[in-house]
Structure 1
């Protein structure tokens, strides 16, 4: 299947992953320990219950490296509509740039079982994009 003129080429396989990154992390309690004299003010220490701001990153990549990166805006939920309108459009543009002759017609997209990947609207959009 993966021979030079086979039906599938590694250049046509695109995969993605979503993950959340914290803006900063709270060090463990033992790293916050320090000696303080009686006159000095105690340093401010973040408590473990403190909720750090975080953002979701979606990264698409193929055999040559990252293809498209989307950062979900703050206070936004990743839905199938957002995924189709913002993320898949970036991926289509990146594929068209990288493979102008073939475009998306021979592209295989490897998804996980996330709900927005299995949504009917996403499947319909992928058919329209010929992915």
Structure 2
């Protein structure tokens, strides 16, 4: 791919990956406070349980570190439309901001082979920008830095 006189460089590669980050929400103790009259019995306070949540983060890296971090809103599904409008458009803006004199046609994108990334709308959008998609090697954890 990188021929001796090819203008492409490793600095042209942008790697994108998604990962789920679980977290816990602990209700504050002040929610159990209440006024009680001297003759009333104290009410039974139920011990609050942890509420487990998780959010999907889409992270794009290039040679200088994280380029774009996009958080999927709660109760939203990652679709091709969402991926193009909200994720790839931010990646394009970040690339243009970081390298204003270089067109996006020199960019090599390495992202997963999931549904939204392989969808027709995504491939068409990338083709319009001139971004070349690199093939994702199977089971290659060293190319997914946000898993670490």
Please classify the TM superposition score into its range, dividing by the shorter chain length. Answer: 0.7 to 0.9
1:57–1:69 CA contact under 8 A, matched in 2: yes
The unaligned stretches of length 5 or more in structure 2 are 26-43, 132-148
The unaligned stretches of length 5 or more in structure 1 are 26-40
Q: CA RMSD in A?
A: 2.4
TM-score by length of 1: 0.76
Aligned pairs, number: 113
1:55–1:74 CA contact under 8 A, matched in 2: yes
Tell me the distance in 1 between the aligned counterparts of 2:48 and 2:85: 42
- The equivalent of 1:38 in structure 2 is none
- The equivalent of 1:94 in structure 2 is 94
- The equivalent of 1:29 in structure 2 is none
Higher Rg:
2
TM-superposed deviation, 1:123:
0.2
SS at match of 1:113: coil
- The equivalent of 2:113 in structure 1 is 113
- The equivalent of 1:122 in structure 2 is 122
- The equivalent of 1:18 in structure 2 is 18
Tell me the distance in 1 between the aligned counterparts of 2:14 and 2:124: 18
User: What stretches of structure 1 move > 3 A for 4+ residues in a row?
Assistant: 43-46
Tell me the distance in 1 between the aligned counterparts of 2:121 and 2:114: 14
- The equivalent of 1:66 in structure 2 is 66
Tell me the distance in 2 between the aligned counterparts of 1:72 and 1:130: 26
TM-superposed deviation, 1:44:
3.5
